Structure 1
Amino acid sequence: MAVYTEVAFAEAAALLHALDLGDLTDLQGIKGGIENTNYFVTSERDGVTLQHVLTVFERLGFEQLPFYLHLMKHLAGKGIPVPDPAANANGDILHTIQGKPAAVVDRLRGHSELQPSVVHCEAVGEMLARMHLAGRDFELTQPNLRGLSWWNETVPVVLPFLDPDQASLIRSELAYQNHVAASPACVALPRGPIHADLFRDNVMFEDGELTGLFDFYFAGCDTFLFDLAVCLNDWCVRHSADSDDGAHDPARAQALLAAYQSVRPLTATERQLLPATLRAGAFRFWISRLWDLHLPREAAMLQAHDPSHFERVLRTRLQQAGTPAVLTSSQETCAAA
């Protein structure tokens, strides 16, 4: 759990009053996440209990946040189940706590599925494609702030903490990803607003139904394929006490990819670049977890994620020649449909 900014009960209560969300009755720090300070807030208004999430942003500034908050409103208006930021009397959805930017959004119902089944992966694939289509006419733009530029800036910072084999891998992969990104094929990939961090703990289910996508604060404009690769690398990788080798679970990977393509079929170029993009997705989270582990910020509650998991995922992707066999049948089926 990460709480960098200790929010007093009275501070949170005043903000809820300004948002016409009633009287604060409970304020609790949220487990999970390492970027922002998050609290569950419960209030009473006209005898009705309301539940929201208060986020205090620790790295993102006032100039960046309108993109994320208005993207969520845009997607909600298109029927995508995402948190809706609360506005004050002036219509502002970006607020201030202790001089830092803050937002209050409605709390989604359900729970995360950390051991997803084929059915969960199908739901995520379909909803991800719907989200990509819904965001194509979103007018604001902002680059993926944890994209290639950030990789180039951050790799030299984490290099001193790596052993020689890891250092060789991270240098060679960075060179490869720069080469791919500069290729005409990559430049031509379909792009738009993406979530960029749609891990299992950022999706809610209730009674088997997908009820919400949240934590859009890594979102940015990038390739839709990168968003898909991030999901495949988390939702469809084998996770157990006996197996964490970074390999895909065949049934879940095929289900997620087929469900995505039932809504938005991949182009031929996307299918060609999927192996490189799976590597990119693993690389991005290996770098960020190295950074969080070796260069931590002080927090009242903080537990960094283990970077070795995505190192293994990346090494597995490197060992696979071309498109992983586990994905090929799904791609070919959808391409022929």
Structure 2
Amino acid sequence: MAVYTDVAADELAEFLSHYDIGELLSYKGIAEGVENSNFLLHTTAGSFFLTLYEKRVAVGDLPFFLGLMGHLAGHGIVCPQPVKTRGGETLGRLAGRPAAIIDFLEGVWPRKPNAAHCAAVGQALAKLHLAGRDFPMKRANALSVSGWRPLFDQAAPRADTLQHGLRQLMSDELDHLEKTWPKNLPEGVIHADAFPDNVLFLGERLSGLIDFYFACNDILAYDIAICLNAWCFEVDHSFNVTKARAFLNAYGRERKLSDAEQDALPLLARGAALRILLTRLVDWFNVPPGAMVKPKDPLEYFRKLRFQQSVASMRDYGVAASGLVA
């Protein structure tokens, strides 16, 4: 979450007049994340999130995101729900941006995830993949392997200012992934952004998945790969096998992985690391002046990519294949 677009009080009051959510008591911008402008609203009816969708989010994709949250909630997945206007709309405009109000979920994201957190995420991700099987809308993943070359072209000219040799490493890795990216693996709806700051907990109990604005249709195991990178490393960038085992085994208890998915997972994890490295580099070099946002460290994912390049099989993630095979 972040704030790129400021909202004047009178504009907000007019916007809220179309909703039955009580009278506004206070609102404040939320500076975490990098994608959209977000505000926490307190009204006489409770707390809500207001999101203004910035340029990276295509307006035409918003019905997919908002519809998916409703679909998942109907299948028992705890996630925020769009609040409708009196006219039944979930999307409006505020400060020149598409905007929506989302209900508030209790919980905080874990700053230091442990194995129990990782297991809960694995279980929730598998349930999301199963729940998404009958969601009728489709959205291609614009940030899958075919979308990485344009990101590389944006980031490459200045990459070596952060890390000597980074441009060449990314170029070689992109060439390799474009040639070897797996095909014919199970696909469906994926979250694609289930980082710790998008998963809420009350203690060690998962209380909600949030921020579905990268959700799309893609390889299900790619979502697993994203989470391996996001949840199973320590602050010193070392890989935590205990966390990975907890995550993967919990996922496998809900949805078994095929042999082909297991064989492909190390390569998918390399791709997931490169994708985040590239988008973080682009964001690092292109923060709008005055934006209330702190870009995330790209080199965190340079280090994760280097680890994933060394992985030979699922055993390097601490898991024997027999526990995960369909």
Distance 2:188 2:157 in 1: 35
Does structure 1 conserve the Cα–Cα contact (< 8 Å) formed by 2:225 and 2:272? yes
User: Offset at 1:12?
Assistant: 2.2
Partner of 1:112: 109
In the aligned structure 2, how far is the partner of 1:155 from the partner of 1:324? 31
- Secondary structure at 2:60 match in 1: coil
For 1:223 and 1:61, the matched residues in 2 are separated by 22
Specify the code of the residue in structure 2 equivalent to 1:195.
H
CA gap of 1:260–1:96, structure 2 versus 1, over 3 A, is: same
TM-score relative to the length of structure 2: 0.95
1-side partners of 2:178 and 2:288: how far apart? 29
User: What does the per-residue CA deviation read over 1:128-177, in whole Å, with 9 as the maximum and x for residues that have no partner?
Assistant: 00001001111111111222232111101111112362122111111121
Aligned equivalents of 2:89 and 2:290: distance in 1? 28
Is 1:43 equivalent to 2:39 in the alignment? no
| Partner residue of 1:71 out of 68, 72, 77 | 68
Aligned residues: 322
1:302 paired with 2:293, answer yes
- RMSD, matched Cα: 1.5
Judge conservation of contact 2:52–2:97 (CA < 8 Å) in 1.
yes
SS at match of 1:297: coil
- CA offsets 1:55-83 (integer angstroms, 9 cap, x no match): 00012232121111111111111110000
**SS of structure 2 residue aligned to 1:76:** helix
Q: Percent identity?
A: 38
Partner amino acid, structure 2, of 1:303:
K
Q: TM-score normalized by structure 1?
A: 0.92
C-alpha displacement of 1:203 = 0.5
Which residue is equivalent to 1:285? 276
* 2:324 is aligned with 1:328: no
Distance 2:166 2:322 in 1: 35
Amino acid in the other structure paired with 2:48? H
**Aligned-partner SS, 1:328:** coil
Other-structure match for 2:241: 250
The corresponding residue for 2:16 is: 16
The aligned residue for residue 128 of structure 2 is 131
> For residue 85 of structure 1, what is the aligned residue in structure 2?
82
Name the SS for the 1:28 alignment partner.
strand
2:31 and 2:294 in contact (8 A); partners too = no
Match of 1:204 in 2: 200
Residues 220-269 of structure 1: per-residue CA shift (max 9 Å, x gap): 11111111111111111122xxx22xx42011100000000000000111
Asked if structure 1 preserves the Cα contact closer than 8 Å seen for 2:146 and 2:178, the reply is: no
* 1:135 partner SS: helix
Q: Please report how far the alpha carbon of residue 299 of structure 1 lies from its aligned counterpart in structure 2 after TM superposition.
A: 4.0
Q: 1:319 aligns with which of 294, 310, 319?
A: 310
Kept after mapping to 1: 8 A contact 2:252/2:323: no
What is the 5 A alignment of 1:215-294?
Answer: 215-239=211-235, 243-244=236-237, 247-294=238-285
Q: Give 5+ residue unaligned stretches, structure 1.
A: none
User: How big is each residue's C-alpha offset from its partner over 1:244-296, in whole Å with a ceiling of 9 and x where there is no partner?
Assistant: 2xx42011100000000000000111001001011011111000010001122
CA distance in 2 between counterparts of 1:102 and 1:160 reads 34
Distance, in Å, in 2 between the alignment partners of 1:66 and 1:303 is 28
2:94 alignment partner AA: I
AA of the residue aligned to 2:210 = F
Q: Tell whether the 8 Å contact from 1:3 to 1:299 is kept in structure 2 after alignment.
A: no
Say if 2:51 and 2:100, in contact at 8 Å, map to a contact too.
yes
Q: Quick one: distance in 1 between partners of 2:96 and 2:136?
A: 28
CA distance in 1, matches of 2:283, 2:315: 30
Unaligned runs of 5+ in 2: none
Say which SS state the counterpart of residue 301 (structure 1) adopts: coil
1:13 Cα shift?
2.6
Pick from 142, 150, 154 the counterpart of residue 153 of structure 1.
150
Secondary structure of 2:133 counterpart:
coil
Q: Is the 1:12–1:24 Cα contact (8 Å) retained in structure 2?
A: no
C-alpha deviations, 1:100-148, integer Å up to 9, x for none? 1111101110111121111111111000000010011111111112222
Distance 1:215 1:74 in 2: 15
In 2, the alpha carbon distance for the partners of 1:324 and 1:174 equals 25
**What letter corresponds to residue 101 of structure 1 in structure 2?**
P
Name the aligned partner's letter for residue 79 of structure 2: V
Deviation track 1:42-63 (CA, whole Å, cap 9, x = no partner) reads 111xxxx411100000122321
Residue by residue over 1:277-333, the C-alpha shift from the partner in whole angstroms, topping out at 9 and shown as x without a partner, is 11011111000010001122234312111100000000111123344523332x332
Amino acid at match of 1:270: E
1:103 matched to 2:100? The reply is yes
| Aligned counterparts of 1:102 and 1:114: Cα–Cα separation in 2 | 29
2: CA distance between counterparts of 1:326 and 1:220?
26
